[in-house]
Each structure stands twice: as structure tokens, then as C-alpha cells.
Amino acid sequence: MDNVAECAKPNDAMRLFRLLALLPLSLLVACSAEESATSSDESNLDTSGCGGLDVASRGPVQLSMTRSPTTSCWNIDNAGVSLGYSWSQTNNATPQWSKIGFWMSVNGADTFVAADSYECFAATTFGPGHDTSGTRRYSCWARASRVRFNRDERLKNASYASDGRRLPWNMQVAVARDDGSWDSLDGANYRFDY
């Protein structure tokens, strides 16, 4: 009998451990259910059909787009695109490029915007081993804040039909660098279709 009682103790301990492990989860579920009950009429979800956020990249060029489906949407003032350009450099955490510009075309209407932020951070390496060369590698970014189509009539007219619905967007991007060179895929440009 004593052996049976001794064997039962670890099982009781395991049950207690499982119960204690589930306690924070049950509190979390209870708290979120309580939050849901108190704010069920205050949803932050966009049910208007006016949402539309896309992120895409081709090589070193990145786009983040807010695409309102019609010009009558509540978020039409934010419709547009943010642009980014990335590169790698060694042994210097200060961006080697500091005057990046973006030429952008939407359905044939074009504009040129300057990057307004730059940053570099230590690049992480993956794989076995440790780099003992003494070379420090950095990943760098230049970004241009949102180009809002409602602020440029040509871009808005190229992006939306006269009845207000959004047209398919054929976008092209080329990047002007500090030294006067262009990253444009030898004139073919980075292309995005939405």
C-alpha cells in the first residue's frame, strides 16, 4: 500500500503542475472575454471596404501602399505609397548614401521624391561559424515618407477613374544615388502591378 501511495504523489504533483500552468491561460481568456464584452460595439476593424495595404519588394526597392478602392473612401487622403531602398556596406555604420531620390511612375504619371530618413544597422549572419575577418557588415535603408496621391492631381487621375473607382496600378521605380548613378535595372525600372 505504501508503494501505491508513494507512486500517486508524483501524479498528484503533475496534476498540480498542469493546473498551475493552465491558470495564466485561463486568466488571459477570461480577461479578453471581459474586454470583448465591454467593447463589443467599439470595433477597430475596417468594415467599410476601404482598406487595402500592400507591401512589396523587387531587389533593393520596397513599396508600402495604401490603396483605397474609391475616391469616396474615408481613407482616400492616405492613399499613396512609401518608398524604400536598401544596400549593404562594410566597416562604417553611417549610411554611405545620404541623398537618395526616387523616380516613381503610376500608370504613366510620374514624380520624383527625396528620401527623408536613413539608417544602418549591424547585419546578422546566418550559418555555422563566426566571421573572424574583422570586417563589420551593415544593412542600410533610405526611405521616402508616403507620397499621397490626393496631393498630386496627376497621380490621383492616373490612379483613379473619373467615376472614382481605383484603376489597376502599373508602377515603376528607379533610384537616384548621391554619385549621380541610377539603380534602374539598366533603364527597365523596378516594376510593380496592383
In terms of domains, do 158 and 77 share one?
yes
Is the pLDDT higher at 146 or at 184?
A: 184
Instruction: Place 181 in a pLDDT band, splitting at 50, 70 and 90.
Output: very high
Q: Examine residue 162 and state whether it is found in any structural domain, yes or no.
A: yes
Q: Examine residue 48 and state whether it is found in any structural domain, yes or no.
A: no
Q: Examine residue 143 and state whether it is found in any structural domain, yes or no.
A: yes
In terms of domains, do 9 and 94 share one?
no
Percent of the chain with pLDDT over 90: 49
Average pLDDT of the chain?
Answer: 79
In terms of domains, do 78 and 115 share one?
yes
- Burial of residue 40, with CB atoms counted within 10 A of its CB: 0-12 exposed, 13-18 middle, 19 or more buried: exposed
User: 13 pLDDT exceeds 70?
Assistant: no
Q: Please compute, for residue 1, the number of CA atoms within 13 A of its CA located in the half-sphere on the CB side.
A: 0
In terms of domains, do 71 and 151 share one?
yes
In terms of domains, do 13 and 68 share one?
no
Task: Quote the CA–CA distance of 121 and 79 in Å, as a whole number.
Answer: 30
Highest mean pLDDT among 32-46, 62-76, 120-134: 62-76
In terms of domains, do 75 and 116 share one?
yes
Q: What is the mean pLDDT of residues 161-175?
A: 94
Is the pLDDT higher at 4 or at 51?
A: 51
In terms of domains, do 155 and 94 share one?
yes
Domain with 29, as residue range(s), is: 1-34
Q: Examine residue 43 and state whether it is found in any structural domain, yes or no.
A: no
In terms of domains, do 85 and 181 share one?
yes
In terms of domains, do 114 and 188 share one?
yes
